[in-house]
Amino acid sequence: MPATPTGPEADRRRLDTATAAFEPPFAAVDLDAFHANAADLTRRAAGKAIRVASKSVRCRALLEEVLALPGYQGILGYTLPEALWLAGHGFDDIVVAYPSTDRTAYADLAADPTALAAVTVMIDSTDHLDLIEKAVAGVPDGQAAPIRVCIDIDAAFVAAGGRIRIGARRSPLHTPAQVAAMAREVLRRDGFKLAGLMAYESQIAGVGDAPPGRPLRGAAIRAMQSRSARELATRRAAIVDAVRELAPLEFVNGGGTGSIERTTAEDAVTEIAAGSGLYQPWLFDSYRSFRGRPAALFALPVVRRPGPETATALGGGYPASGAAGKDRLPQPYLPPGLSYDPNEAAGEVQTPLLGKVAASLRVGDRVWFRHTKAGELCERFDTLHLISGDEVVRSVPTYRGEGKTFL
């Protein structure tokens, strides 16, 4: 059998052929790339289970798809209502990665034995425990089982006596003593069960160490990440030891798509969090240690030709979250060689695209884009067309398509 043609033009023809029956704008996932990325993530995890970050997928069918693969176990959710919804659809191991103040959702959790067994909520202060206790106090026959909690640990890199801090501003719990004190408080209260610990090293997992065209910045990032990884490995091990002296732990979660190799090497970590690497958004192209295949894409139609080297697409203004900048914009992907008009960029209702290749585009042609991040694409589309080879094998709803917009 002849080999399947590869390369940008072959990929463009394959994607266009597969989706010929659909009118853009639409979103699609290349299942062949999705499965190849999933296999590479498990290879990098070196035997430790991967907990799938649902915010990076936001499609129930694809969560089921990846959790059926070897090496994947459980979901890392992003809101408590999302976790309750997933538990109601048969997902039985969900850790909510961020603290919630949703009192109604806590009352629903306490009243649902299935959810109580499936869902673990995140805390990092006694304020969270107090809020939960008040939220469930009036639930008739509530809390037949204790509410499962995970303690979030600050994984940021701190140096120069605290004057330098690199990493997401998450938990206030940084030291073994602070985390152990929090664990004691959980254990003191009858309505809670301490299930696990989590520490997300955003300065490693979410920051590419080889930014294109910026070698000095890349060297500085690698030096910071190396120091941060050494410091965190020592501190995380001490934290886990301190807590395990008080109670057993079911899991210690760490890492992310960009830090799997480093995190899985730590004995203290029992499972890895990852999700973005399944879709491989373009933000994750700037790592030296791995190279995923673009899996999640969206297509826009060319609707006019205002100049000889300009093609204007309909819509496209789908910036990613984070500090505003050019790196938050989607990337024109196929055909290669297109760039934004600096005065318009990715627009609310139209996106002019410039370059010599634009001269070959005609009204009605498609341009394929990659989002900067992973799951945020699904907040813009209600359906994902799943492609294998040059065919759409099925079309499935995103969270939005199921009427769910949790954030």
Backbone angles phi, psi at 272, to 5 degrees: -110, 140
Residue 182 in contact with residue 152, Cβ under 8 Å? no
3 state DSSP class of 394:
strand
Domain spans of the chain, in order of start: 8-29+292-402, 33-275
What confidence score (pLDDT) does residue 1 get? 40
Burial degree of 69 (CB within 10 A; 0-12, 13-18, 19+): middle
Model-level pTM? 0.92
Mean pLDDT of 99-126: 96
Alpha carbon distance 215, 154 (integer Å): 29
Alpha carbon distance 179, 99 (integer Å): 16
- In the chain, how many H helices and how many E strands? 12, 19
> For 362-385, what is each residue's pLDDT tens digit?
999 999 999 999 999 999 999 999
For 166, the token pair is: 């690199």
More confident call, 201 vs 406: 406
Alpha carbon distance 92, 116 (integer Å): 10
Residue 181 CA, chain-centre distance (Å), reads 30
Choices 3.90.1150.10, 3.10.20.30, 2.40.37.20, 3.40.190.10: CATH for 8-29+292-402: 2.40.37.20
Alpha carbon distance 179, 170 (integer Å): 14
Mean pLDDT of 17-22: 96
The CB density around residue 272, as the number of other CB atoms within 10 Å, is 27
Which of 51-65, 151-165, 246-260 shows the lowest mean pLDDT across its residues? 151-165
Picking from 260, 328, 133, 244, the residue whose alpha carbon sits closest to that of residue 252 is 244
Mean pLDDT of 50-66: 98
Q: Which CATH code for domain 33-275?
A: 3.20.20.10
Mean pLDDT of 243-252: 97
Q: How confident is the model at residue 6 (pLDDT cuts 50, 70, 90)?
A: low
What rounded mean pLDDT belongs to the chain?
92
Within 13 Å and on the Cβ side, how many CA atoms surround 220? 6
> For 67-108, what is each residue's pLDDT tens digit?
999 999 999 999 999 999 999 999 999 999 999 999 999 999
Q: How confident is the model at residue 141 (pLDDT cuts 50, 70, 90)?
A: low
In our burial notation (b when 16+ CB lie closer than 10 A, e otherwise), range 209-248 reads bbeeeeeeebeebeebbeebbeebbebbbbbbebbeeeee
Residue 403 in contact with residue 362, Cβ under 8 Å? no
What is residue 375's DSSP assignment? G
What confidence score (pLDDT) does residue 72 get? 98
C-alpha separations of 214 from 160, 208, 218, 222 in Å: 26, 11, 6, 12
Is there a cis peptide before residue 335, judged by omega within 30 degrees of 0?
Answer: yes
> Greatest CA separation found in the chain?
72
C-alpha separations of 7 from 10, 24, 162, 208, 334 in Å: 5, 23, 48, 24, 10
Residue 122 in contact with residue 152, Cβ under 8 Å? yes
More confident call, 27 vs 291: 27
